[in-house]
Amino acid sequence: MAAVLILFLIETTSSPSSSLLFSEKIGITSIFILCCILGISFTIRPNWLQYPITKLKDEEKNTHLQGERSFRGHHPDCPTFQNHTIQWKEKTWCAGCLGLLLGLCVTIALMIMYLWTEFQQTKTMSFLLLLLGLFILIVVYGEIIYRSHHPMVHTVINSLLPLSFSIVTMAVVGCTGEFVYGLFTILICFLWLDTRIRLSKWRHNLLCIQCSESCKRFTDYT
């Protein structure tokens, strides 16, 4: 629905120009980069904004499940979730979060290049970029639902998610020439990110229910 709304805004905009003022371009780029930095903090430490509440819940659950199952790389340390983590620099990482971390770093560099590169972005090119960004988004969602058994594949595909957000944002700005539409698209990207998180939780919950182990760590968190 959000994608359809964006397409509708692009088709109905009456803006005679498809280029932002440099000050507006700085604004869009700065806001997007700040969002990326916030995203990086969440890949390293999920739910840090809710830390006091999360810590209390974790203590209660750990008391109940002490000695049964520990967490490594944001996942239970059990065979069911072995392909959800990856070893990197002597540390166990969540494969999805590692992918998002790498993708966010690359996206920051891409947005800096977008800011300082003088490039005439035609409306046709912007529309094609928009379709590319939406296609990547669908691929990422599909991989979460029909999960690959190789954690590296999951990492690579998840790294494309922030790139799709930047592509869509640049495309909308290029198509409309409107600063406010760029801000609106960034908000939509948060909605798409939340969708990715919910799909991941749904997948984890399903795997946990089907697992023969008794800990049921993810079902306890829902």
Mean pLDDT of the chain, nearest integer? 81
pLDDT at residue number 63 = 42
pLDDT at residue number 85 = 80
Residues of the chain above pLDDT 90, percent: 37
Closest residue by Cα to residue 91 from 79, 107, 74? 74
**Which pLDDT band, with edges at 50, 70 and 90, does 66 fall under?**
very low
In a domain, 152, yes or no: yes
- Helix-helix angle 95-116:151-176, to 10 degrees: 30
């891409």: which residue's tokens?
110
Residues of the chain above pLDDT 70, percent: 79
pLDDT at residue number 36 = 95
Range of the domain at 92: 18-44+74-220
Q: Which SS3 state, helix, strand or coil, does residue 46 take?
A: coil
Q: Could you tell me whether strands 85-88 and 91-94 are parallel, antiparallel, or unpaired per DSSP bridges?
A: antiparallel
Q: Is the pLDDT of residue 222 over 60?
A: no
pLDDT at residue number 91 = 78
**Which pLDDT band, with edges at 50, 70 and 90, does 73 fall under?**
low
In a domain, 67, yes or no: no
- Are 61 and 220 a contacting pair, CB within 8 Å? yes
Q: What is the mean pLDDT of residues 73-96?
A: 76
Q: Is the pLDDT of residue 57 over 60?
A: no
In a domain, 205, yes or no: yes
Closest residue by Cα to residue 134 from 172, 102, 86? 172
pLDDT digits (tens, 9 = 90+) for 167-191: 999 999 988 888 999 999 999 999 9
Lowest-confidence region among 43-52, 85-94, 154-163, 198-207: 43-52
pLDDT at residue number 16 = 52
Q: Is the pLDDT of residue 90 over 60?
A: yes
- pTM of the full structure: 0.83
Give the alpha-carbon dihedral of 120, 125, 126, 132, to 10 degrees. -140
Name the domain count of the chain.
Answer: 1
pLDDT digits (tens, 9 = 90+) for 101-155: 999 999 999 999 998 887 777 788 888 999 999 999 999 999 988 876 788 888 9
